Every structure is written in C-alpha cells, then in structure tokens.
Structure 1
C-alpha cells in the first residue's frame, strides 16, 4: 500500500514535499557559497609556489615573518625529517653560548682526538693530536660543514660527543623545538636523529635573536685555512637580495636542506626547505619562496 500525505483533519491541507526540498537546496547552496568564499580568501593570502623538485617523503618547508612570528607558508612543516648538517646550527648555538659566558674565547684551542680525526667528509682533515682555534672552528662549521671539527668541538665542550648531543637536545627543548632529537654534533646519518622544518626555523630565529654579535659568521661564503681558500655551499647568499645566512645540509636520508634568512626593505624573513632532489633544486625552490614572500609583502 502506498502512503500519501493525508490531512489529519478536514481543515488541514495536504503538504507538498517540494517547498521543503527547495528550502533544503537553498541552505545547501548557501553553505557551498560560504565555503567557496572562505577558500577564495585563503587562496588570495597564500603564496603562489610551484611544485618543488623534492622527494615527497622528504620534503618540508616553512616561511616565517621573523618579527611577528607569523607563518607565511608551510608544507609538511611538522613532519619528522632528518636535519643533516642543519644540526650544526645547534652545535654553533652551544659554541656561541660558551663564548658569551666566557668559557671559550675566539682564540681558545680545541684539541683534536683520534675519534674527531676519523670522521667522514665533509671535513678539514684535522690530524689527531693537533688543535684548532675557536674562530677557525666556527668558520669551518658554517662554510665547510666540517664533521671532524663538529666532533672536536663537542668533545671539548662536553667530554664526549654523546654527552654534547644530549645538551643539544636539552637546549632544543628550551627553544621550543619539541620534535627534535640530536644524537651527534654534525648531523651525520643516525636513525634516532630527527627534527622538523618548524623546529629548524625556531633554531634559525634563536641564533639571530640570541647572538647578534656572532650571527655574521653565517654570512661567510669562504674562509682561509692553511693557505687555501675554502668555499661554501650556501648559494642563496648570492641569489636573493638581502640574504644573510644561514646553513645548508645534506645526507641521503634527508635530501638537500637549507635554512635561510633575508632582511630587505624593512622586512625580516626566515625560511627552511628540506628534502630537495639536488642542491640547485633546493636553492631554486628557496629563492622562489623568498621572492614570492617579498613580492606579496609589497602588494
């Protein structure tokens, strides 16, 4: 038997389902329109960035306004990644702390152990039993990303690299880097080592903020060592106007990483890119992020 909309009393009219359906359709269309407006607003505010040349499982990026802390762009910024030599930024943070507290001076001599001397490249090829002064060590960490120097520094400041790595992780926590764990001073491969693009941006900002007297080291593109000019890998310093640092990194597990800082026209930006397929692809993507950020800021 087919049921119909019968009146419940002789005076009650039969109600057609069409008006109710129209009201439902109007409500649905209103919701769709509102969502479209919100989406359009979000797209207007977003940076227009092309697909990076990076492994999806390794890629992450973030751009931050250094003055306000506002995140201007992010992609997989909280996903776990390998820091590679970006870990040396924390090694340098602890060196700068030691300089600031006068536990070290720029002329202090750092002894080179057998363990430090046998670290794999990139390195200065330091010899066991020799020393390196702190100023040269900083330059080697920034420009050459020297693993033997990182280990020598760690052993000198903490007694062992393992103990130094624990200090690195502890300092990371105080800087709000909640997803980062360091297991060595250099960023050499270790499954237990981890970070995120957001955490690396926090470290970049902290280095600029906490050590303005030493931050200029990150502008270096070369340094002299034993009569030779050693050149660095941070090409972004010559690619983007106003770029003033800070660090590159690469291991196979991470891809090509880069933390960058730019100050231009009263703006101050810090950005991190991780997982590039090559150094040139990483640099091009970073340049695109930074250029798009500054172009939007002047519109």
Structure 2
C-alpha cells in the first residue's frame, strides 16, 4: 500500500514538473515574450523575464495617451465636458475604432471609455491632436513624459500603438507607466475596470477578460498588433497587497491571460513570503533565521557610454570586499562602507545571483547571495554591499523609480 501511495506521489510530482517545464519551454520558444510583476507598495520586482528587451507596445500605448489626458484634466486644461474636434486624419484611422467622421466632435467623457474599452484608434488620434496639435508632435510629448517617469527605453511615434518601426518599449517601462497611472491619478483609475460603454446607440464591450475572470484584477489594458503579439498590463489587489503585471508577446489572448493569471498567483504568494522575510531581517534577534552560507562574487563595471547611471560617482568608485567590512565590524569599527541594498529573496540561488548582478548595470557594488531559512523554508537573499549609507539610499531610491524594488540594509 505504501509503495502504491509513494508511486502516486512521484507520479503527481513528475506531472507537475513536466507541466512547469512545458510552460517554460513555450515561453522561451516565443522570441517576442517579455513579462514582469511588481509589488506596487514596495516596488519590489516579484518576477521578470526579458523585462528590458525592446518590444512593440501595441495598444498599451493608449495608457500613455490617457496619462497625458488625465494630466491635462488635473491641470484644468480640459474637463470631462471638453469637446474635441475630429480631423480627417483621425477619422481615417483603421479599426479598431468607433467610426468617427471628420468634422464631428467628441467629448473627453466619451473618449476615456472609448480608449480603454474599445481601444479606439480614431479616438487616440483625436486626443493626440487636441493636446499636441498633430499626432507626430504628441508622440514627441509622450516620449518626453516617458523619460520624466523613468521609462528610459520607450519611444512613442503615435497615440494609438498602430504599427510603427520606431515605437518601442519594454515590459518594465509599461509596468512603471501602469503604476504611475494609479498613483498619479487615483481619481481616474476606476475607468480601467470599465467593461462596456455606449456611444451613439452602439454598445461596445471590453477586450480585457482579466477583469471579469481573475480574482482581484481591476484594470488596466490589452493590446495587439502582429509585430507585438498579445500584450496586457494588469493590476490586481488581494487583501492589502497590490501588484502590477505586464505580459508581452502572447501567442493568443487566451494563453497570454493564462500566463498572467499564473504570474499573479505566484507573485501574491511570493509577496507575502518576502514581507515575512523582511520583518525577520529587521529584528534585533532572529533565532529562526540561520545564516548557513555566504557566497560573494565581485562584479566589474564595463565603461559603456550607453549605460544608464544613477550617480556618476557611484559608477566610478571601486567595489569594497565584504570581508574587509566584516572584519572592521568585528573589530568594533563602523565602516562608512558597511551599507548595502537588498534586491529580494528567491527560492533559487541562480535567480538571486542573476537579479543582483543585473542591478550592477546601475549600481557599483559587490554581489552577495546569502542562504537563509525562514519557517523551515530555504531562501536566497540577493544584496549589493560595500556602499556608503548615502549611496545606498540614493541607489535604492533611483532603482525604485525605475521599477526595481530594493531595501537599504547594513552589510
């Protein structure tokens, strides 16, 4: 009997592993795939895969169009009742649209749900011309705003996301935009959960099935062009936790949504686990945490002019050996370089190592991966150490602005 039960358990385990590997192989086989999940409150990156790879945004572009519109409303340059003229250019936009005609007018009140629910390209052009004079100029305004928001890898050429070879973004940048929409304009965020709207007697239903089907999801936007595959930016809240996820390059709307649902489930679990790890790390005494092994790998910084930087001085200063810091602290010396930043805690050592090493593109420091045990569960904590206190705080703040979660710690 026991042999049969053991065989069943092994069979179930093998099936689970096979399913996981199948999902991973499917994602890896798709060259357009990219994804990221961020904890909105802490800015910690809970998952990322090709998050900085250049991708076509498709209709996720309209989130920036809406950001610009909300900003104009906040500055009282426009209101919900403002009427916008429909030009010949706007009326000629291909589907998806709401069949606007040249010479018509469109209110901001109708434009917002048309962009979110219908993803109307003609409406995007109307908003662009109302705010920027021409759509091309509005594209430049959008790109400039993207830079100010920390979206350093994004270029906009139109307001809709219709195909343009130069219109590019990354999953990380779209996550930043999603987060800023919620934080900068909380009074308008509810629009992103709209499931249908009526315009001139026609009822339009949302393409975003995530809001209807996945627990906790309350926005944001989907997108598709042939060059991009199926994209989605999603925000979800469960309990007191909110995360933002972006999946790009899905091979179908259904597979994209399924992948996002899996990432959300995993990230909410990871978010809770990471919170308990942080609480333990901040305690004066933590007998439940056993520091078993510490592995450090010095990382050299390439002197590339194309690198994004946080502070020039931080890129130039040499890394400090952790052994030196540890010996100074053991001797009772509080070294100026005894600070660091914690990137996160992960179930796999290789994952922790890769996450910390990726951050060295912006921060010079020594990569340290430490094994910890929390509630009989092994985790690997990724840190960059050997920083001065002010450098650690500046670095962490800058990383958070770029959508990379971190925590300032004593090393």
Instruction: Mark yes or no: TM-score above 0.5.
Output: yes
Figure out how many residues of one structure are paired with residues of the other and give that number. Answer: 253
CA separation in 2, counterparts of 1:52 and 1:121?
A: 34
Q: After the TM superposition, which segments of 4 or more aligned residues of structure 1 sit over 6 Å from their partners? A: none
Kindly indicate whether residue 198 of structure 2 is the aligned counterpart of residue 224 of structure 1. yes
Q: TM-score of the superposition, structure 2-length normalised?
A: 0.60
**Which residue is equivalent to 2:167?**
193
Which of 233, 239, 250 is the matching residue for 2:224? 250
**Unmatched segments (≥5 aa) in structure 1:** 1-46
Q: CA deviation at 1:49?
A: 9.7
CA separation in 1, counterparts of 2:236 and 2:101?
A: 37
Matched ranges for 1:46-57 at <5 A: 50-51=23-24, 56-57=30-31
Q: TM-score of the superposition, structure 1-length normalised?
A: 0.82
- The DSSP-based 3-state class of the residue aligned with 2:23 is coil
**Which residue is equivalent to 2:84?**
110
Which of 208, 211, 223 is the matching residue for 1:237? 211
Q: For residues 14-44 of structure 1, give each alpha carbon's deviation from its aligned partner in whole angstroms, at most 9, with x where no partner exists.
A: xxxxxxxxxxxxxxxxxxxxxxxxxxxxxxx
- Say whether the 8 Å CA contact 1:64–1:270 is kept in structure 2: yes
Q: CA deviation at 1:50?
A: 3.2
Q: CA deviation at 1:295?
A: 3.2
CA separation in 2, counterparts of 1:123 and 1:84?
A: 15
Q: What RMSD in Å do the two structures reach over aligned CA positions?
A: 1.6
Q: CA deviation at 1:229?
A: 1.5
**Which residue is equivalent to 2:121?**
147
CA separation in 2, counterparts of 1:153 and 1:110?
A: 7
Q: CA deviation at 1:52?
A: 7.4
CA separation in 1, counterparts of 2:83 and 2:167?
A: 29
- CA distance 1:226–1:288, change in 2 (3 Å): same
Matched ranges for 1:34-45 at <5 A: none
Kindly indicate whether residue 227 of structure 2 is the aligned counterpart of residue 274 of structure 1. no
CA separation in 2, counterparts of 1:76 and 1:82?
A: 13
- The DSSP-based 3-state class of the residue aligned with 1:178 is coil
Q: CA deviation at 1:67?
A: 0.5
Q: For residues 133-158 of structure 1, give each alpha carbon's deviation from its aligned partner in whole angstroms, at most 9, with x where no partner exists.
A: 00110110000000000001101111
**Unmatched segments (≥5 aa) in structure 2:** 1-19, 274-411
Greater gyration radius: 1
- CA distance 1:205–1:52, change in 2 (3 Å): farther
**Which residue is equivalent to 2:37?**
63
CA separation in 1, counterparts of 2:271 and 2:126?
A: 43
- Say whether the 8 Å CA contact 2:34–2:247 is kept in structure 1: yes
Kindly indicate whether residue 63 of structure 2 is the aligned counterpart of residue 89 of structure 1. yes
Q: CA deviation at 1:291?
A: 1.3
- The DSSP-based 3-state class of the residue aligned with 1:284 is helix
Q: For residues 206-233 of structure 1, give each alpha carbon's deviation from its aligned partner in whole angstroms, at most 9, with x where no partner exists.
A: 0000000011100111111112220011
**Higher RCO, Cα 8 Å, sep 6+:** 1
CA separation in 2, counterparts of 1:257 and 1:278?
A: 9
Q: For residues 269-292 of structure 1, give each alpha carbon's deviation from its aligned partner in whole angstroms, at most 9, with x where no partner exists.
A: 000000000111111111111012
